[in-house]
Structure 1
Amino acid sequence: MRKILIAGAGQSGLQLALGLQAQGYEVTLMSHRTADEIRAGRVTSTQVLFPTALQHERDLRLNFWESQAPDIEALGVTVAAPDSHDPGPAHRAVDWLGPLDGAAQSVDHRVKLAGWLDTFAQRGGRLVIHGAAVSDLDHLSRLYDLVLVASGKGELVDLFDRDPAHSPYTRPQRSLAVSYVHGLAPRPDGPGTGQLRLTMVPGVGELIVMPTLTTSGPADILFWEGVPGGPVDAFRGVAGPAEHLALTLSLMERHTPWEYARAVKAELTDGGSTLAGRYPPVVRNPVAVLPSGGLVLGVGDAVVTNDPLTGQGANAAAKCAAAYLAAILEHGDRPFDEAWMRTAFDRYWGPVGRPTTRWTNAMLAPLPAHAVGLLAAASDHPEVARRFANGFDDPSDFEHYFYDPARTESYLATLT
């Protein structure tokens, strides 16, 4: 029986651990928190999974909350005009809703990761509650056939060298502020809990609103992404959750009044339902060498960390775990050498990591005129809205019509 060590118990680490466990591998999982500590802790993300990632969970029979989580059946994009503080609808320069070909869902990681962690232990997996350090892996690597790092934070990340060719940013591109709330009213112009809304406020940032399942049941996420130094980059030093929500709502009233109108009765779901922070997007070398010479392979956020603007974090993690699981199973009893590790990463990077990173980095920058024109065209052409919305499930499709002005022009010319 092959022995595998996974350090990190997020979406990618747990999904991979449970997948390997189901195939008879002897898996040791290192987590810095217990399941109970995760459940009782603060929110850690704004995860939303689109159909491909959800199917990976179904394939492993890990979709425990699918019947409880609200379905997200459409994705809307709004581009605010410069004077968007005026509540009149004319000050939404672009506003459309694109149907998703398959429903998306969001499950608070306090619910999902805690549940998966319990499942791993109940199924006989070896769970070590310990924040892994490099010295730990250096010692333990001799005892395992393969060591994987699935933690996007802490000293283990520093094992993996930054890849400057795919990491154009060295500083955070957005200030992030999250609130999980009850009491959000449905939009008057379409389905309520069934849609994810992305509002882009040029020069200010973005507001993302979407339904989720949290520890207290169905809820909604209010998520500001503020341009550094701008008016939404205002959450440093906020005293506590109540002040965090008050600031969130105040910024909504000023910059997205049509969304604020839905949120006037919003209340935090619990005392740990807010989060603020920032980090630079980065791609790292997937293979690292331990002090003793042993090799480790990075998984998910450990090697590809994108800004959450495009909602790709948990999706990319799920797809990375699925790619690695297939690569491990196909490899059989052969050694997990460096060549195999790089091939396993390429299996993820080519179809998923590269297009996801390119699209997210492009969305962080001011959109060029042809891209703004494309978003505007979606207001009049439902097929454009549908295609853009479903790009959140498959970002590789943007290669065909989003980045290059000539390709955008050619695509729009085909519309009737």
Structure 2
Amino acid sequence: MRKILVVGAGQSGLQLALGLQTKGYEVTLMSNRTADEIRTGRVMSTQCMFDTALRHERDLQINFWEQQAPKIEGVGVSVAGPDGGRAVDWLGRLGGFAQSVDQRVKMAGWLDVFAQRGGQLVIHGASVSDLDFFARTYDLVLVAAGKGELVSMFERNAARSVFDAPQRALAVSYVHGLGPRPEHPDTEAVRCNLVPGVGELFVMPTLTTSGRADILFWEGVPGGPVDAFAGVKDPSEHLALTLELMERFTPWEYARATKVELTDAHATLAGRYAPVVRNPVGRLPGGGLVLGVADVVVANDPITGQGSNSASKCAASYLSSILMHGDKPFDEAWMKATFDKYWFTSGKPVTQWTNAMLGVPPEHVLNLIGAAGQLPPVANRFANGFDNPADFDAYFYDPQDAADYLAEVTASSAGDAPSGDPSGAASGASSAE
């Protein structure tokens, strides 16, 4: 039986550990916190997982919260206009539902299951010297802990890392009491509110430790008015600032948030980090090799909501590569090939799209976002790009590709439109108010 060590108990580490355990591998999992410490700790992310990532969990039969978590049916985009209203406002429908489960709920639950199934769980914050020892006793060491000393083993890939500084200041609040969007009161959706030059506000339904809730998530341009959470330690003050910025920049979202309250005492989070792509193989002082997983080697800004999705896809890709490798040694060539398979199918498309969304949108992208308000197929395709970011390559990055796509959809919609509705617009997209 092959022995594998997984370091890190997040989405990718736990999904890999549980998958390998199911396939008969002898798995040791290292976590720096117990399940109870995770469950009662601070929120860790704004995870919203789309259809492909959720299917990876179903395949392993670890989708324990699927019946309880809100089923997200769409992705809405609003763009703030100069008058304080919405210059653009539409909702794209997802082909398969998305869901968000507070990682405190999911990771604590998965840790418990891993231990219950006989996995060896070590509660210890691993160091490089620890891994130098363990590398001699395991067939493979996977590093899925994206922060701290261990990350220093993986060199930054300058050719694939566009930024060397944080591109957004991040501020998260989990709340109860948020009202529905009046345009679609019965539709659970992720709402992406774009405020040019200022940042973005994301609002999404989630399942947390106290039941159904919503996440209010500001991404502020560094140095701008939303970059205001540094030094804010009191959760109530954090929420008050979040709402103040909503009232100022996204009043349509603030209107449904006047009665919200934090879900618990640990329901806020703030910080920033530089997006980075690192080389996948880490070298230990004793000569051993370790393989980086998910955001250890590809860490994108959360503006496109891909963190948990990428972690799930990376774990699934690595699991497949491990199973296919059989009894052969996990050498450096295999490690690089395993990462490359993930990078070219998932990591690279996500990185390209995320980097594009962090910049000032070019005219053809503005045209696409604006046209989606009148052309539901465009809105739906953009929404489903959150599940399959590789699709953006066909129409999003090149001005001519975008123009050709809009012309094609416009012609098709005109041909399909009923009498008196030349745009072909449907109720799935709402006009600006």
Structure-2 residue corresponding to 1:239? 233
Aligned residues: 410
Match of 1:364 among 358, 364, 382: 358
Structure-2 residue corresponding to 1:71? 71
Q: Where does 1:173-322 land on structure 2 (aligned, <5 Å)?
A: 173-192=167-186, 194-322=188-316
Give how far 1:34 is off: 0.2
Give how far 1:82 is off: 2.4
8 Å CA contact 1:82–1:202 kept in 2: the answer is: no
1:321-368 Cα offsets, whole Å, 9 max, x none, are 000000000100000001111111111111100000000011011101
Whole-angstrom distance in 1 between the partners of 2:356 and 2:371 = 19
Structure-2 residue corresponding to 1:21? 21
Match of 1:131 among 116, 125, 140: 125
> Is 2:79 the partner of 1:98?
no
- Partner secondary structure for residue 4 of structure 1: strand
Q: Where does 1:340-355 land on structure 2 (aligned, <5 Å)?
A: 340-355=334-349
8 Å CA contact 1:193–1:211 kept in 2: the answer is: no
> Is 2:107 the partner of 1:113?
yes
- Partner secondary structure for residue 41 of structure 1: coil
Whole-angstrom distance in 1 between the partners of 2:87 and 2:163 = 29
8 Å CA contact 1:162–1:283 kept in 2: the answer is: yes
- Partner secondary structure for residue 361 of structure 2: coil
Whole-angstrom distance in 1 between the partners of 2:34 and 2:186 = 35
Judged with a 3 Å threshold, the aligned counterparts in structure 2 of structure 1 residues 109 and 193 are, in CA distance, closer, same or farther, namely farther
> Is 2:4 the partner of 1:4?
yes
Give the share of equivalent positions with the same residue, in percent.
71
Whole-angstrom distance in 2 between the partners of 1:157 and 1:410 = 43
Whole-angstrom distance in 1 between the partners of 2:211 and 2:160 = 39
Structure-2 residue corresponding to 1:39? 39
- Partner secondary structure for residue 174 of structure 2: strand
What residue identity is the alignment partner of 1:150?
A
Structure-2 residue corresponding to 1:149? 143
8 Å CA contact 2:71–2:99 kept in 1: the answer is: yes
TM-score between the two structures when normalised by the length of structure 1: 0.98
Give how far 1:244 is off: 0.3
What residue identity is the alignment partner of 2:48?
V
Give how far 1:413 is off: 1.1
Whole-angstrom distance in 2 between the partners of 1:404 and 1:118 = 47
Whole-angstrom distance in 2 between the partners of 1:11 and 1:50 = 14
Whole-angstrom distance in 2 between the partners of 1:380 and 1:188 = 19
What residue identity is the alignment partner of 1:338?
E
8 Å CA contact 1:282–1:306 kept in 2: the answer is: yes
1:232-285 Cα offsets, whole Å, 9 max, x none, are 000011130000000000000000000000000000000000000000000000
1:282-313 Cα offsets, whole Å, 9 max, x none, are 00000111111111000011100011111000
What residue identity is the alignment partner of 2:289?
L
> Is 2:341 the partner of 1:373?
no
8 Å CA contact 1:10–1:150 kept in 2: the answer is: yes
> Is 2:163 the partner of 1:169?
yes
Give how far 1:227 is off: 0.3
TM-score between the two structures when normalised by the length of structure 2: 0.94
Structure-2 residue corresponding to 1:412? 406
Whole-angstrom distance in 2 between the partners of 1:45 and 1:307 = 12
Match of 2:321 among 321, 327, 340: 327
Whole-angstrom distance in 1 between the partners of 2:378 and 2:312 = 27
Give how far 1:63 is off: 0.2
1:115-144 Cα offsets, whole Å, 9 max, x none, are 000000000000000000000000110000
- Partner secondary structure for residue 96 of structure 2: strand
Whole-angstrom distance in 1 between the partners of 2:200 and 2:394 = 25
8 Å CA contact 2:173–2:239 kept in 1: the answer is: yes
8 Å CA contact 1:4–1:28 kept in 2: the answer is: yes
Structure-1 residue corresponding to 2:414? none
What residue identity is the alignment partner of 1:128?
V
What residue identity is the alignment partner of 2:47?
Q
8 Å CA contact 1:70–1:193 kept in 2: the answer is: no
1:31-52 Cα offsets, whole Å, 9 max, x none, are 0000000000000100010000
Give how far 1:193 is off: 5.7
1:144-191 Cα offsets, whole Å, 9 max, x none, are 000010011011011000011111111000000000000000011004
Structure-1 residue corresponding to 2:52? 52
8 Å CA contact 1:71–1:193 kept in 2: the answer is: no
- Partner secondary structure for residue 166 of structure 1: coil
What residue identity is the alignment partner of 2:342?
Y
- Partner secondary structure for residue 4 of structure 2: strand
Judged with a 3 Å threshold, the aligned counterparts in structure 2 of structure 1 residues 193 and 277 are, in CA distance, closer, same or farther, namely farther
Whole-angstrom distance in 2 between the partners of 1:196 and 1:307 = 17
8 Å CA contact 1:193–1:210 kept in 2: the answer is: no
8 Å CA contact 2:74–2:187 kept in 1: the answer is: no
- Partner secondary structure for residue 21 of structure 2: helix
- Partner secondary structure for residue 408 of structure 1: helix
8 Å CA contact 1:185–1:192 kept in 2: the answer is: no
Q: CA RMSD, aligned part only?
A: 0.7
Q: Which moved more, 1:332-341 or 1:183-192?
A: 183-192
Give how far 1:192 is off: 4.6
Whole-angstrom distance in 2 between the partners of 1:286 and 1:376 = 39
What residue identity is the alignment partner of 2:282?
A
Whole-angstrom distance in 2 between the partners of 1:111 and 1:22 = 21
8 Å CA contact 1:21–1:125 kept in 2: the answer is: yes
